[in-house]
Amino acid sequence: MSSYSAIWGVDYAKGGTFISDTDPHTGRWCAIHFTSNTQVQDITAVNYDGNTLAGQTFNAHTTLYGVFTSIELQNGHCVAYRL
What is the pLDDT, as a whole number, of residue 5? 54
Q: Cα separation of 43 and 5, whole Å?
A: 26
> Rounded to two decimals, what is the model's pTM?
0.84
Give the confidence band of 8 by pLDDT, cuts at 50, 70, 90. Answer: low
Q: Is it the case that residue 1 has pLDDT exceeding 50?
A: no
Residue 20, pLDDT above cutoff 70:
yes
Q: What is the 3-state secondary structure (H, E, C) of the chain?
A: CCCCCEECCEEHHHCEEEECCCCCEEEEEEEEEECCCEEEEEEEEECCCCCCCCCCEECCCCEEEEEEEEEEEEECCEEEEEC
More confident residue, 1 or 15: 15
As a residue count, the chain comes to 83
Average pLDDT score, the chain: 89
